[in-house]
Structure 1
């Protein structure tokens, strides 16, 4: 596992990884290679951004990101601005994706360890991320779907009910994008 910079990897391989993991429950994301590669290139254009990649040989099997809250899109920043929070003290953890066959091996914990260390190094005192909210009776929910809430709580994160946002993306089987409720989780560093 390594922290890497924008010149050290193939954006297309990471874009494929994101699309593969996010296509399954609970995101059900039907993305495009062009969008994903552009998203990653824009993310990595921020010198303060952190990208951690888990690989098997040269193949990325997981990745996690973090960057300053101040540089995030309005949908991410607004709940914190409305609450009068100092954006300069917050690190936003954008995603943590890992292929299913590599789960349960400590990689997810390592992703959080690395991002929390990077956030502290950057002077952040709060780490936050958001996760999609899905009804437990959603028809696309697999019977063996794993709830990540115990994992996040075990890491010291707490859901912040007053902090939510909405993001839009195209779901598998849909023709158009739809809006999805996202709730924030936070941890004091």
Structure 2
């Protein structure tokens, strides 16, 4: 099985199609623990529209033949939603110096092959090429230890982030609202930022 990685930016061939595939992959992968996301394509298209609008955006896409099986996306933090920009300003970072990694998702059957590290490194290289950034960041959902839908067989990804050089910044958080698989309505989820120096 041969998996090919490509780096796409706004205006490059295949970028618009890849944005659509990001939406579909987010819905599929984020249904799993810890996100438990009951997503819709309509919301996803709105949420990721900034990928198409942002100068400096990137999609790293992994394909098995013609099928996209994983993606990693990013853009300058200042091109993102205020829920992401505001906490950095309040914490004392200059948002203009921060590159935001939005999501890195891979279908379950393709995990454990080193794609995750490759995704993050390609995204990091892109941010360095753009220039002007001092920090790279992303955020992850914080779930209580006694959550009723906790998957006790899922491997915690925080240890991977630490090995790759990211640090959990205490107090640097935000909130996103979505509907969990076991919820009737949306509720706000605590999101913790992880940061590493470029």
- Normalising TM by the smaller chain, what interval? over 0.9
Q: Which residue of 1 aligns with 2:79?
A: 71
The equivalent position to 1:116 in structure 2, one of 105, 117, 124, is 124
Q: Which residue of 1 aligns with 2:195?
A: 186
Pairing 1:76-115 to 2, within 5 Å after superposition: 76-115=84-123
Structure 1 distance, partners of 2:135, 2:23, is: 28
The equivalent position to 1:175 in structure 2, one of 184, 191, 198, is 184
RMSD: 1.4
Check whether the contact 1:157–1:187 (CA below 8 A) recurs between aligned residues. yes
Structure 1 distance, partners of 2:138, 2:114, is: 19
Q: CA deviation at 1:67?
A: 0.5
Structure 2 distance, partners of 1:46, 1:99, is: 26
TM-score normalised by length of structure 2: 0.90
The change in CA–CA distance for 1:28 and 1:86 in structure 2 (over 3 A counts) is: same
Structure 2 distance, partners of 1:31, 1:182, is: 17
TM-score normalised by length of structure 1: 0.94
Q: CA deviation at 1:10?
A: 4.8
Structure 1 distance, partners of 2:168, 2:188, is: 20
The change in CA–CA distance for 1:132 and 1:51 in structure 2 (over 3 A counts) is: same
Q: CA deviation at 1:39?
A: 2.7
3-state SS in 2 of match to 1:152: helix
Q: CA deviation at 1:93?
A: 0.5
Q: Which residue of 1 aligns with 2:138?
A: 129
Q: Which residue of 1 aligns with 2:150?
A: 141
Q: For structure 2, which runs of at least 5 residues remain unmatched after alignment?
A: none
Q: For structure 1, which runs of at least 5 residues remain unmatched after alignment?
A: none
Q: Which residue of 2 aligns with 1:24?
A: 32
Check whether the contact 2:50–2:79 (CA below 8 A) recurs between aligned residues. no
